[in-house]
Amino acid sequence: MSLKKEAVAGADVDERLAALMTNSNAIRAIASAVEGTLGPKGLDTMLVDQFGEVVITNDGVTILTMMEASHPAARMLINIARAQQEEIGDGTTTATVLAGALVGAGVEQVARGVPVARVIEGLRIGLKKALQIMHERARPVTDLEDRAIRQVALIAGRGHEDIGDLVIQAAVMIGKDKLRDNTFKFPDTVVAEEGADNKVFMGVIVNKERISRQVPAELEDLGVLIIDDALEPEEIDEEALGTEAGFAHYMQLREEFNVNLQKIVALNVGLVLVDRGISDDAEDILTDAGIMAVQRVANKELRRAAEHTGARILKRKGLKKSLPELKRCLGHAARVYHDEQLEQVWILGGGGKPMATVLVGAATAEVVGERERIARDAAAAIQSAIKDGVVPGGGSLELAVALELEKVRAGARGMAAYGVDCVVEALKRPLSQIVANAGFNPLEKLGDVIAAQAETGKSSLAVDCENGQVADMLASGIMDPAGVKIYALKAAGEVAEAILRIDTIIKKREEREIEREIRTREEGKMF
């Protein structure tokens, strides 16, 4: 082939891979932003906004969600990390690093001439086998007293023993049956406040103040009414209000509202939580009756309060029920008090389901957010361990799975074997990155661990980041929740396949422009 033909062929290849390379570079940039935080020696990242406000964190999902990313492929990876956080509550950094490695390895194979379809075929084979092995290697955790629970809490909590102990205490209060409930999110029980003392208690916190300080700050043995609506008269259209019938309807609605307020007073309710605003009239009536009222309560807090007190959440129209019907909707609390320093309302001893709250204190406002993220990660790790068991950490499991997959590669058909290679290389990445972050040569240490695992048959061997020696992670107490690892690999595989399948990038037309063109066509048909 002449030089000219070679140049043309090269141009064709570059053009054919343009979309893939662009997306791969975007994924790599996102992965590199968080990979430095991986492992016990991982460093922090500083995020600065346009106003100069700074967030310093080691938390992967915080970095990903706060960083500015405009590239669509980058946003795909960030969305995968968000999904990992919502589903599991931890492991976003691992998922991102694995996704970056899978995409990078896939692009290299495509650039060498392997068809994308064959790479994806091999990815699916490798990922399916890898996930199966991870499930098989997970050790069940049946008791909250198991040593593994404390270890996963400390590792996810980045070594903060005070936070780990708090979260474990809360887990014991809640019980393993509740932790296994897929609708229950243990991290949601964590609250961090500047100036607060570390504490775990049976109850919930509402991060709002009572609307009137004339009501006692502490009440005992009381009924709780929860309204997922505004405690205000129903609104009426201004135009209708200008008519006689409309004004009469308005007065009728106000009268009905006052009757409903009197029902609340008659029920001997002590606490009213409202999703939206409370009218001045309602505030006066509730205050005169000695009822503590809290408005604009977050929906998540409303639902936790309802679950803990046993209250049935009502809409505004639900107040039209008869007194006996309304009474059946009330919850109960042994004690409620307003903490003026923290500007919170605490609900203790609810008559519904047991609900523990983890209050994490922080000395300054700058570290409140980070301590809360650490505690939430620890809570998520404990819940995941109870659900799916634990596996050795430190990147040892991923490496052991990679070595198993090398045996699978021989059975892959044709060029699909190169896709399996991508999964093998990606699974080696976590250990390499942890070792690099600890200041050791990743190639050297990776070779040492591979040799040690092959020689001993132990899949729990990795590198001690303190001295660089090969060590047994299980014996050292380095454990991770199996669910975190499994979901991270699954999520990484999904985003890698989606990126590799993109052959062309086309800029969409603006929706306004499309709507304008449609209107023009419709107007043309009219004439």
Q: What distances in angstroms separate CA 507 from CA 19, 29, 72, 74, one per listed residue?
A: 12, 21, 11, 16
Q: pLDDT tens-digit profile of 64-88?
A: 777 777 777 777 877 777 777 777 7
Quick one: pLDDT band at residue 521, thresholds 50, 70, 90?
low
Span 288-309, average pLDDT: 92
3-state DSSP assignment of residue 146? coil
296, 313 contact by CB (below 8 A): no
Are 187 and 379 within 8 A, CB to CB?
yes
Phi-psi region of 97 (alpha: psi -120 to 50; beta: other; left: phi over 0): alpha
pLDDT tens digits for range 344-383: 899 999 998 888 888 888 777 767 888 888 899 899 999 9
* Mean pLDDT score, 305-326: 91
Share of the chain above pLDDT 90, in %: 34
pLDDT > 80? residue 119: yes
Q: How confident is the model at residue 11 (pLDDT cuts 50, 70, 90)?
A: very low
At residue 513 the predicted structure's pLDDT band, cuts being 50, 70 and 90, is: low
Write down the pTM of the prediction.
0.75
Let me know: does 185 contact 342? Beta carbons within 8 Å. no
Closest CA to 31 of 123, 86, 87, 95: 95
Domains of the chain and any CATH numbers: 14-139+391-500 (1.10.560.10), 203-362 (3.50.7.10)
Letter string b/e over residues 100-117, b meaning 16 or more CB atoms within 10 A of that residue's CB: bbbbbbbbbbbeeebebe
Mean pLDDT is lowest, of 3-7, 55-59, 223-227, 412-416, for 3-7
126-130, 488-492, 513-517: range with lowest mean pLDDT: 513-517
Arithmetic mean of pLDDT, 498-509 = 70
Q: 438-474 burial, b for 16+ CB within 10 Å, e for fewer? A: bebebeebbebbbebbeeeebbbbbbbbeebebbbbb
pLDDT in tens, 139-183: 999 888 888 999 999 998 888 888 899 999 999 988 888 899 888
Model confidence at 241, in pLDDT bands (50, 70, 90)? low
Query: What CA–CA distances, in Å, run from 464 to 43, 154, 435, 476?
Result: 17, 16, 9, 9
| Mutual angle of helices 161-174 and 147-156, in 10-degree steps | 130
- Cα–Cα distance measured from residue 92 to residue 80, given in angstroms and rounded to the nearest whole number: 8
Residue 46 token pair: 């500083």
Among 87-91, 155-159, 225-229, 264-268, name the one with the lowest average pLDDT.
87-91
Left (φ > 0), alpha (ψ -120 to 50) or beta: where does 439 sit?
A: left
pLDDT in tens, 17-64: 777 788 878 888 888 878 888 888 877 777 777 777 777 777 777 777
- How many alpha carbons fall within 13 Å on the CB side of residue 228? 14
Q: Which amino acid is at 32?
A: S
Alpha carbon distance, N-terminus to C-terminus of the chain: 62
Buried/exposed 313-322: b ≥16 CB within 10 Å, e otherwise: bbebebbeee
Amino acid letter at 281? D
CA 165 to each of CA 170, 171, 198, 495: distance values in angstroms, whole numbers, following the listed order: 9, 10, 10, 36
Across the range 312-329, mean pLDDT stands at 90
Those residues with Cβ within 8 angstroms of residue 132's Cβ, 6 or more apart along the chain or in another chain: none
